[in-house]
Amino acid sequence: MNWNFEILPDFIFNGLRDGAVYAAAALALVLIFKATTLINFATGELAMLGAFFVYVLNIEQGLWLWLSIAIAMLVSAGIGAAVERALVRPFDPADHLPVVLITLGLFLIINAVAGDVWNYQVRRVNDPFGQFPSWVPNGSELKTSSEGTIACLENADGALAEVAPGTAGADMCEMVGRTFFEVIGARLHYRTIGTWIALALALIALAIILGKTKAGLAFRAVSSNTESARLVGVNTGRTLGFGWALASVFGTLSAALVAPALGGVNPNMMLTILIYALAGAALGGLDSLGGAVIGGLVVGLIKSVLVSWFGVVVLGQAYFSILQLATAFLLILIVLLFRPAGLFGTRRIERV
Amino acid sequence: MTDMMLKAEDLHARYGAVEVLRGLDFEVPDGNVVVILGANGAGKTTTLRALCNMCTTTGTVTMEGDDISRAKTADIVRRGVAHVPQGRGTFPELSVMDNLKIGAYTRKDNEVGADVDRWFEIFPRLEERRDQLAGSLSGGEQQMLAVARALMCRPRLLLLDEPSLGLAPLIIEDLFERFAQLNKETGLTMLLVEQNANLALDMADYGYVIESGEIALHGPADQLKNDPAVQEAYLGA
């Protein structure tokens, strides 16, 4: 056994970064589950569509990246609400099977349409957290020299290495770790911090929407007791549409945040992420928003620390890396067997 | 002649293939308390649900002369019908305060806060627990909350579905005293569904007895109380 503790913090940071993405996607699942007690299997594909909107607006139309993300979120919200109105509301909410089948069908359709429009090649996107100004400490590591070579930090020794642009080395250089802080000997990438901040801001916005607005109060009421919500005059259909819109915003956020780390957007980009998000949502309790966040982060940590660090590095078993997805399934299985309500979900107590 | 707050004519209701109400005719005069008595499964709860269009119905329901039988539940609430469903129907994951606020969902005025204070005065226990989740309240407190929440929409007609269910006798008496007081002081019209016939008939002006989805008997409350059939079936005499 080779306890490589000095690289453990790297794995923790990466795990928490992936975890933040899973958390955002898990929130998209939980927002819909809370109100309707059904799993929207098209969550990932709707999010992927959102990431492609960012791609079209930013790369193809040349809009400012953050504006592109904001517009993509709004468009996704509209699509989410439209899906609810057209494909979910006409069906009896007490009968889950038809709606679950519809979301599965939607998953296939969106994936196929996206594949037809944009094909399955990975398309490079801009990293929202890749271009930090030079006054940020350690922020100026990426330099393009006069000869056109790109300088970036190489491995553990921290020395600058020069690679020619357009080569695989340059791609790697841009894809991973061109800007980071050094924290306890590990690289805390700006992208990681940026992902955390973006998730935190989105959570604050969500807390304000749900806690302080009338629509948010109606959403919580419908989630808690749909029948009583109708009896106080809440339009439950419109409120569920609002929930779908919010969920789609979080889905698009997760996809936009993860796209640069995946090397770009492609129609299959959210497939595995949705599995991890599902594991996170199940762990946190499918009807708990806070649980979804913590569950997503924990799944990211498990994947990175338990599987990649302990399995691959410490035990030296490379095959552990292909078990990452299996871990997610295992986690879902364990939660469902021993604690079906998850860590923070409500165990319904029926009073007579 | 008193004005009719609510009038149901030939009201039928069904869940799927099962017909639960088989042609009810009843009236709720403005300012009155009307009680619907009946055994389990007679269709009492369905009657209230049918009035709010929460199940498939045929027949006519008019409120103050306007036909509301095809109106949406939310629009019926906007007209001033508040429904306290069976089993309280509070929002367990919401705080007491949020439960009251959602009760005022259909209102657009800015006196919601004043109304909250008013009901807190009448139900001080709720004020003590304003930030607690409704699910953590006792049965009696939940019933108070359900009533206070229903009153938050400033209803003119209050539908109460077995408010005494599962509560201790002393709490039930206290609750019914408050209902009677509300009716007397504000003129709030109430349609009450109960199995506790004694208390209900004491408070009510008029009563209907339903059996298997049909009205078996009706009359002024005093008269029903002394009816031998009612006494035998519901008053344990």
Residue A27 tokens read as: 């929130």
Bridge partners for B95 per DSSP? B133
User: What pLDDT score was predicted for residue A32?
Assistant: 95
Predicted pLDDT at A350: 45
Go through the domains of chain B in sequence order and give each one's CATH number: 4-80+155-234 (3.40.50.300), 90-153 (no CATH)
Q: Quote the minimal CA–CA distance from B64 to chain A in Å.
A: 19
Q: Which of A225, A231, A352 sits opposite B73 (nearest CB)?
A: A231
Percent of chain B with pLDDT over 90: 68
Say what percent of chain B tops pLDDT 70: 98
ipTM > 0.85 for the complex: yes
Report pLDDT digits (tens) over B113-128.
999 999 999 889 999 9
As a whole number, mean pLDDT of residues A51-77 equals: 96
Q: Give dist(CA A94, CA A231) in Å, integer.
A: 18
Whether residues B90 and A346 touch (CB distance < 8 A) is answered with no
Rounded Cα distance between A28 and B199, Å, is: 50
Given an 8 Å threshold on Cβ–Cβ distance, is A231 in contact with B89? Answer: yes
Considering only alpha carbons, which residue of chain A is nearest residue B154? A232
- Distances in whole angstroms, Cα of residue A164 to Cα of each of A147, A149, A150, A158, A169: 9, 5, 6, 19, 8
Would you call A234 and B89 a contact, using CB atoms and an 8 Å cutoff? no
How high is the mean pLDDT of chain B?
Answer: 91
Average pLDDT over residues B20-46: 92
Give the pLDDT confidence of A216-268 residue by residue, as tens digits. 999 999 999 999 999 999 999 999 999 999 999 999 999 999 998 898 999 99
pTM of the entire predicted model: 0.85
**Which residues of chain B does A232 touch, with a Cβ-Cβ cutoff of 8 Å?**
77, 82, 102-103, 105-106, 149-150, 153
Q: Do A234 and B98 touch (CB under 8 A)?
A: no
> Which residues, in sequence order, are bridge partners of residue B140?
none
Q: Are B10 and B60 in contact (CB under 8 A)?
A: yes
- Over range A77-82, report the average pLDDT: 97
- How close A342 comes to chain B (CA, Å)? 17
Residue of A224, A233, A346 lying closest to B106 (CB–CB): A233
Assess contact for A198 and A257: CB atoms under 8 A.
Answer: yes
Q: Which of A34, A225, A350 to mutate to test the interface with B (most CBs of B within 10 A)?
A: A225
Of B82, B102, B139, the CB nearest to A221: B102
pLDDT tens figures, A164-204: 555 555 554 444 434 677 778 788 888 889 999 999 999 99
- Mean local confidence (pLDDT), B69-80: 92
Which positions in chain A have a beta carbon within 8 angstroms of at least one beta carbon in chain B?
Answer: 214, 217-218, 220-221, 223-225, 227-235, 346, 349, 351-352
The pLDDT value recorded for residue A93 is 81
More confident residue, A347 or A37: A37
- What confidence score (pLDDT) does residue A164 get? 53
Phi-psi group of A62: left, alpha or beta (phi > 0 → left; psi -120 to 50 → alpha; rest → beta): left
Question: Which bin fits A150, alpha (ψ -120 to 50), beta or left (φ > 0)?
Answer: beta
Residue A156: predicted pLDDT: 35
**Angle CA A132–A298–A294, to nearest 5:** 85
Q: Which residues of B touch A (CB under 8 A)?
A: 52, 54, 73-74, 77-78, 82-83, 85, 87, 89-94, 98, 101-103, 105-106, 135, 139, 149-150, 153, 166
- Looking at per-residue confidence, does A1 or A167 come out higher? A1
Contacts with B149 from chain A: Cβ below 8 Å: 232
Task: Give the minimum alpha-carbon distance from A35 to chain B in angstroms, rounded to a whole number.
Answer: 12
Query: Considering only CB atoms, which chain B residues are within 8 Å of A242?
Result: none
pLDDT tens profile B143-195: 999 999 999 999 999 999 999 988 889 989 999 999 999 999 999 999 999 98
Residue of B73, B103, B153 lying closest to A230 (CB–CB): B73
**Residue found under tokens 């469902």:** A336
Q: Which helix (H) or strand (E) holds A180?
A: strand A180-183
Give the separation between CA B131 and CA B125, rounded to whole angstroms. Answer: 12
CATH number of A5-127+190-338: 1.10.3470
Nearest chain B alpha carbon to A219: B102
Q: What is the dihedral of CA A24, A25, A28, A29, to 10 degrees?
A: -130
Query: Where are chain A's structural domains?
Result: 5-127+190-338, 143-178
Specify whether the CB–CB gap between A295 and A342 falls below 8 A. yes
Q: pLDDT tens, A125-159?
A: 988 886 554 444 443 344 444 444 444 443 333 44
pLDDT at A160 over 70: no
Tell me the range of A168-182, A202-216, A312-326 where mean pLDDT is highest.
Answer: A202-216
Contact criterion met (CB < 8 Å) for B54 and A231: yes
Q: Is B62 exposed, middle or buried (0-12, 13-18, 19+ CB in 10 A)?
A: middle
- CA B56, CA A172: separation in Å to the nearest integer? 63
Instruction: Answer for the pair A202, A253: CB distance below 8 angstroms, yes or no.
Output: yes
Q: Is B10 helix (H, G, I), strand (E, B) or coil?
A: strand
pLDDT for position A131: 54
Q: What is the structure's pLDDT at A333? A: 93
Report the C-alpha gap between A72 and B150 in whole angstroms. Answer: 41
**Facing residue for A346 by CB, picked from B77, B93, B103:** B93
- A86-129 confidence digits (pLDDT tens): 999 998 888 889 999 999 999 999 999 999 999 999 999 988 88
Contact A171, A180 (CB under 8 A): no
* Segment A275-300, tens digit of pLDDT: 999 999 999 999 999 999 999 999 99
